[in-house]
C-alpha cells in the first residue's frame, strides 16, 4: 500500500526483492482502478445510445498512464479479487467485475420499440429547423448526483457541476461521493476539473447535500499541487452552521480550513446587510472568479436555514437552483425569467401529503414553479430513490421540462432536445415504468377504499350490511381486474 512514486523508487524495489522470487506482492494504491459499480456503467452505456453527447459514456480504467514495473511477482488489486490460502494458494478472479459494454448495448437493442423510438427521434431532429446561431459550449451543466437521501447504484446524492467557462466552475451542493462521480465522469481529466473549481454552494445541512465537501477540499488541494498551481481558498456559500462542522473536522481529524473561505448564504439574500468588510471582499471575489453579475440566495421551504440560489452571468444568462423545498414563492420571485431552473421533484404526483410531511415537491409542483417563474427551461432532479432509474412522467410535462440523470451533460443549446428524448427513455425503461404505474394504481385503489370506509362510517349503516363487506363490494375496480372479468 504505497503510492506509485514510492513503488518506482529503486530503494523500495530493492526492499521488495529481499522477500525472494516466491513471494507475490499485492499493490493497492491510486492506480488500482477498476469498474465496481456496473449498474451505473450499464445505464450510462444504454443512455448514450439515445444521445452520446448528453449522455457521454463513463470513463473506464483503460488507457491510463504506465505503472511502475517490478523485478518481483506483482499483482495489482482489483475490485472483488480474492486470494485463496488453502487447499491451494491462488488468485481467484471469478468474482471480479468484468465491464463489457457490448452486452449492455445488445440488451437495450432487444427491448421492444427501443430502436424504433431512437430512430424516430433522430429523424425528427434532422427534420427540425437549423439552429439560429452556433451553439456555445458554456455554460455546461453536469449532473453528478440526482437522487435524494442516500446514494444508490444508479443515482448518487445531490451535486451539480456548472462549468461557467474553461477556467471557472462551481458546484451546486456536494453530497457524499461527489468526488467519485467526478472521477467516473472525467477520468484522467479530473484534476484539471478540480483545478477550475472556484466555489461550492451548500443549500442546507442535510448529509446528502454537504458531506462530500471534505473530500472535494482535500482532492482539490492534491490536484492543484500535481498541476504545479497554487491553492487559493475555495469559496463556500453555505448556512453559517456549516462552519462548526468544518471546524470540528479541522481540529479533530485533518486540517483543511486553510483552503476554505466561507460566505454566509444569508448575506447574499436580497436587501441583506453584509456582516463584515471581509465577507464583502469574498463576495466580490466570488463574482469575479465566476464572471457573475449577481449571486443571490433566498430562504426556501425545507428545514431551518435552507437556501436556494440564482446565478446571473455577465453575459445575461440566469441559472436558478432550488435546493430542497416545497413550492416556494420566494424562489419564484428570485428566479423570474431564469434561463434554466433546476428544481427538486422528489415525489410523484399523487403523493402531495407525503411531500408536505417531508417538505419536498412533487413533479407537477416543480413544473408549476417553473411556469410561475417564467423559466425558459425546467430540469427536474433530486428524485426519491424509489425511482432509481426514471421517475414517472407527469401529464404536465411539456417542451420546457426535462428529467436529470447522473452524468447527464447539457448546455443551453441542448435544452430544446431534452424533451424530445422522452419517447426513447420510455422505451428503455418501459418495464420500470410499468411497475411504478402498477404500484400507483394499487395505492389509488387503497386510498379510494379508505375514503369509502370513512364516508360509510360517518353516514352510518342503513341496510345492516357490515361496513367492511360493503366497502369490499363497492371499491373501485382496477383496469386489470375489469379486463379479467371481461375475459
Query: Do 239 and 305 meet the contact criterion of CB atoms below 8 Å apart?
Result: yes
SS3 letters across 302-334: CCCCCEEEEEEECCCCEEEECCCCCCCHHHHHH
Q: What is the pLDDT of residues 94-149, one digit of tens each?
A: 988 888 999 999 999 999 999 999 999 999 888 765 454 446 789 999 999 999 99
Pairing state of beta strands 408-411 and 140-145?
A: antiparallel
Q: Which residues on neighbouring strands pair with residue 307, listed in sequence order? A: 299
Domain residue ranges of the chain, discontinuous segments joined by +: 4-107, 137-423
Q: What is the mean pLDDT of the chain?
A: 90
Q: What is the pLDDT of residues 309-341, one digit of tens each?
A: 999 999 999 999 999 999 999 999 999 999 999
What is the structure's pLDDT at 466? 56
Q: In CATH, which superfamily holds the domain spanning 137-423?
A: Ribonuclease Z/Hydroxyacylglutathione hydrolase-like (3.60.15.10)
Tell me the residue ranges of DSSP E strands in 110-250. Answer: 140-145, 159-165, 168-174, 197-201, 234-238
The SS3 assignment for 160 reads strand
Q: What is the pLDDT of residues 359-378, one digit of tens each?
A: 999 999 999 999 999 999 99
Amino acid at each position: 500500500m504505497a503510492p506509485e512514486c514510492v513503488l518506482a523508487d529503486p530503494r523500495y524495489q530493492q526492499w521488495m526483492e529481499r522477500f525472494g522470487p516466491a513471494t507475490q506482492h499485492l499493490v493497492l494504491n491510486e492506480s488500482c482502478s477498476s469498474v465496481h459499480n456496473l449498474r451505473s456503467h450499464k445505464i450510462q452505456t444504454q443512455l448514450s445510445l439515445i444521445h452520446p453527447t448528453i449522455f457521454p459514456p463513463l470513463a473506464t480504467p483503460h488507457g491510463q498512464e504506465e505503472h511502475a514495473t517490478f523485478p518481483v511477482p506483482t499483482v495489482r488489486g482489483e475490485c472483488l479479487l480474492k486470494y485463496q490460502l488453502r487447499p491451494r494458494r491462488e488468485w481467484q478472479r471469478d468474482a471480479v467485475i468484468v465491464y463489457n459494454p457490448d452486452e449492455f448495448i445488445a440488451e437495450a437493442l432487444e427491448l421492444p420499440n427501443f430502436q424504433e423510438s431512437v430512430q424516430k427521434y433522430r429523424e425528427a431532429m434532422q427534420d427540425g429547423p437549423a439552429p439560429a446561431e452556433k451553439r456555445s459550449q458554456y455554460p455546461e451543466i453536469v449532473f453528478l448526483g440526482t437522487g435524494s437521501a442516500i446514494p444508490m447504484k444508479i443515482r448518487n446524492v445531490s451535486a451539480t457541476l456548472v462549468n461557467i467557462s474553461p477556467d471557472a466552475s462551481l458546484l451546486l451542493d456536494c453530497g457524499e461521493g461527489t468526488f467519485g462521480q467526478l472521477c467516473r465522469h472525467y477520468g484522467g481529466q479530473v484534476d484539471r476539473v478540480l483545478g477550475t473549481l472556484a466555489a461550492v454552494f451548500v443549500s442546507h445541512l442535510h448529509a446528502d447535500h454537504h458531506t462530500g465537501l471534505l473530500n472535494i477540499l482535500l482532492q482539490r488541494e492534491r490536484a492543484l499541487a500535481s498541476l504545479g498551481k497554487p491553492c487559493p481558498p475555495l469559496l463556500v456559500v453555505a448556512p453559517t452552521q456549516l462552519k462548526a462542522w468544518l471546524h470540528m473536522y479541522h481540529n479533530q481529524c485533518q486540517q483543511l480550513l486553510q483552503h476554505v473561505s466561507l460566505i454566509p448564504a444569508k448575506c447574499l439574500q436580497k436587501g441583506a446587510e453584509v456582516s463584515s468588510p471581509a465577507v464583502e471582499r469574498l463576495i466580490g471575489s466570488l463574482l469575479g472568479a465566476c464572471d457573475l453579475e449577481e449571486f443571490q440566495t433566498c430562504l426556501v421551504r425545507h428545514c431551518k436555514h435552507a437556501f436556494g440560489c440564482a446565478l446571473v452571468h455577465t453575459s445575461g444568462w440566469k441559472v436558478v437552483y432550488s435546493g430542497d423545498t416545497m413550492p416556494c414563492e420566494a424562489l419564484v420571485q428570485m428566479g423570474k425569467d431564469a434561463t434554466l431552473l433546476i428544481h427538486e421533484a422528489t415525489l410523484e404526483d399523487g403523493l402531495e401529503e407525503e411531500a408536505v410531511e417531508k417538505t419536498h415537491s412533487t413533479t407537477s409542483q416543480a413544473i408549476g414553479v417553473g411556469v410561475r417563474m417564467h423559466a425558459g427551461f425546467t430540469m427536474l432532479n433530486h428524485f426519491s430513490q424509489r425511482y432509481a432509474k426514471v421517475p414517472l412522467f407527469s401529464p404536465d410535462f411539456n417542451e420546457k421540462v426535462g428529467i436529470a440523470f447522473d452524468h447527464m451533460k447539457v448546455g443551453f443549446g441542448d435544452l430544446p432536445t431534452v424533451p424530445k428524448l422522452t419517447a426513447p427513455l420510455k422505451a428503455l425503461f418501459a418495464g420500470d415504468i410499468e411497475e411504478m404505474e402498477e404500484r400507483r394504481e394499487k395505492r389509488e385503489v387503497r386510498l379510494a377504499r379508505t375514503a369509502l370506509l370513512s364516508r360509510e362510517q360517518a353516514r352510518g349503516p342503513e341496510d345492516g350490511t357490515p361496513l367492511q363487506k360493503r366497502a369490499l363490494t363497492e371499491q373501485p375496480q382496477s383496469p386489470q381486474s375489469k379486463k379479467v372479468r371481461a375475459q
